[in-house]
Amino acid sequence: MITPDWNLLRAFHATATHGSLSAGARALRLTQPTLSRQVQALEEALGVALFERIGKRLVLTETGRALLDHVGPMGDAAQAVALAASGRLQDMTGRVRISASDTVATFLMPALLETIRAAAPGLVLELWSQNSLSDLHGMEADIALRHAAPDRAGLSGRELRGSRARFYASRDWVLRHGVPASPADLLAGALIGFDDTGRLVAYLNGLGFRIAAEDFRLVSNSSLVVLEMVRRGMGVAPFLDEIVADDPQLLPLWPGVTIPVPLWLVSHEGLQASPRIKLVLDMLSEGLGAA
């Protein structure tokens, strides 16, 4: 039975959790060539590839992800012991990459990151704005804020407080067109769509709209772009109340017509023992409110 040296396993753990050889080397206070040789030595000892290079990123292979599930708790426990011995949270270091939709990233996350940075200034916090689901298995992110529950084995999620969305238009649009009596009375072509118009059509028709996918004459994969178009009076779109309710340019068309929007905090189970991942998860959960 192969029993790799702990130093090699530690090198793998640092590279996997920090996302690159350079960041892993800094965390272990090694040179990058030394860390690279240790990772290569582990791969040779096991006879498998643990990483593949995609562009400038190192991405775990399926075998690498499985190994991280076993090695992760060992490395994280060692870090937790060091932190407990020092008694100083500010000594926590490492990178935590968070992905969120563009509106959540823009309007909700900056204040939360400021709070986390004040508690643990040694962390490197990366916020990635993307409306598609990040690949947590492929280490595209350590933590994801999503509007859907975890959908794959190996992922764990916390359901946070729910939000609601309503349909907003600019004051100028309302002056020109008035407020339709109901969603069914909305002018053809007035709705601005997000990228997945098929799913949106099915949902909106359930709320009383009478629309088809071709009724969306303006579509964008960015909700920030959609928001700017609505502000310019180009049409109507749904937005989270907590993001646009105080916008003086916008008005809700039908206050009683709401769309429930869940919010989930999702991470890979193999990373949850990490002190820095746990800290960020807990602070995000507290800041955004548990369900």
What average pLDDT is seen over the chain? 81
Distances (CA, A) of 228 to 62, 128, 129, 132, 195: 41, 21, 17, 20, 16
pTM, full prediction: 0.65
Torsion of CA 228, 168, 149, 61, to 10 degrees: -10
pLDDT band at 114 (very low <50, low <70, confident <90, very high): very high
C-alpha 162/C-alpha 147 separation (Å) is: 9
Q: What whole-number percentage of the chain has pLDDT above 90?
A: 17
Q: Which of 42, 18, 41, 38 is nearest to 30 (CA)?
A: 38
Chain position carrying tokens 């075998």 = 63
**Domain boundary assignment for the chain:** 1-87, 90-161+262-291, 163-261
DSSP class per residue in 2-17: ----HHHHHHHHHHHH
Per the CB < 8 A criterion, the answer to whether 54 and 44 are in contact is no
Mean pLDDT of 232-238: 93
In this prediction, residue 16 carries a pLDDT of 82
Within 8 A by CB and 6+ apart from 206, the residues are none
In this prediction, residue 76 carries a pLDDT of 58
Backbone φ and ψ of 76, nearest 5°: -70, -35
Q: How far is Cα of residue 263 from the mean position of the Cα atoms in its chain?
A: 11
CB count in 10 Å sphere of residue 255: 10
In this prediction, residue 290 carries a pLDDT of 57
- For residue 279, the 8-state DSSP code is H
In this prediction, residue 77 carries a pLDDT of 56
Give the pLDDT confidence of 173-229 residue by residue, as tens digits.
Answer: 999 999 988 877 888 788 898 877 777 788 778 777 777 888 888 999 898 999 999
Q: Same fold for the domain at 90-161+262-291 and the one at 163-261?
A: yes
The CATH number of the domain covering residues in 1-87: 1.10.10.10
Start-to-end CA span in the chain (Å): 46
The least confident of 7-11, 104-108, 126-130, 199-203 is 199-203
User: Does residue 127 carry a pLDDT above 70?
Assistant: yes
C-alpha 92/C-alpha 261 separation (Å) is: 34
Give the pLDDT confidence of 11-42 residue by residue, as tens digits.
Answer: 888 888 777 888 778 777 778 888 888 888 88
Mean pLDDT of 44-72: 80
In the chain, the amino acid numbered 6 is W
Long-range contacts of 54-61 (CB under 8 A, 24+ apart): 57/19, 57/20, 58/15, 58/19, 58/20, 58/21, 59/138, 59/139, 60/16, 60/138, 60/139
Q: CATH says 90-161+262-291 is which class?
A: alpha beta
Give the pLDDT confidence of 60-78 residue by residue, as tens digits.
Answer: 888 888 888 777 666 555 5
List, in sequence order, every residue forming a beta bridge with 121; answer none if it has no partner. none
Q: CATH says 163-261 is which class?
A: alpha beta
Backbone φ and ψ of 129, nearest 5°: -95, 115
